Amino acid sequence: MRALIVEDNRDICANIAAYLEKLGYVLDFAHDGVTAMNLALANPFDVIVLDLMIPRMDGLTFCQRLRADAQIETPVLMLTARDTLDDRLKGFDAGADDYLVKPFALQELHARLRALYKRSHRNGDNLLTVGDLTLNRSTLQVHRAGRRVEINPAGIKLLRRLMEESPAVVDRDALETLLWADERPDGDALRSHMYKLRQAIDRPFDRPLIHTVHRIGYRIAEDDQ
């Protein structure tokens, strides 16, 4: 499990690292909210441990921006010394998934993180994955690098077929039949739909996943061979 630990107390970070890394966790650390946001935008974490009182951007603001602005739905476990009901409700309203009050036992931290991970992956049988791209066949939600990607219905149909067949090539005829059956429009409408899909899936990210196989069709894969 890959986790981002957002905590400005370096002693707490050291204790968390010493315990969780022995259990196989891969950990990244941020000691302020701005650094944490940059890491969350650039990396596909499984869970985020977030201290409420951190410099440069407090935990509530970080969580709100993570959900509302970045559209990232990575599970968040909020840490805080505040133990009132009002404080917990504010954390949940900001988008936190769980709440752990300091001081805490490391065994409980691990148990809560494991529960959050299992909860977020319980629809795993419905999940198509290619690299850092996922499509939930039940909810039709698409994420790349942990970030929600909005795709229109035609794009979802194309993406699902390409991911189900990955890394194989899906020929143009099969994709056109998928969208229009026997009533295909004039011109190269498929190319237009693939362009829109690429704009959503590939353009905001460093590495393209959708590849054109000239005169044949398209494929989706981490490589471009």
Distance CA(78)–CA(93), nearest Å, equals 12
* For the chain, domain boundaries: 2-120, 126-220
Burial tier of 41 (Cβ tally within 10 Å: 0-12, 13-18, 19+) = middle
User: Domain 2-120 is classified in which CATH homologous superfamily?
Assistant: Response regulator (3.40.50.2300)
Residue 204: predicted pLDDT: 87
Cβ proximity of 50 and 96 under 8 Å: yes
Residue 79: predicted pLDDT: 92
CATH of 126-220, picked from 3.30.70.330, 1.10.10.10, 3.40.640.10, 3.40.50.300, is 1.10.10.10
Containing H/E element for 67? helix 59-68
Residue 61 has pLDDT above 90, yes or no: yes
Mean pLDDT score, 38-59: 92
Q: For residue 33, give every residue at least 6 positions away whose Cβ sits within 8 Å of its Cβ, in sequence order, or none.
A: 6, 54, 55, 56, 57, 58, 59, 61, 62
Whether this prediction's pTM lies above 0.75 is answered by no
Position 118 confidence tier, pLDDT thresholds 50, 70, 90 = confident
Residue labelled with tokens 């809560």: 112
Mean pLDDT score, 166-178: 91
Percent of the chain topping pLDDT 70: 97
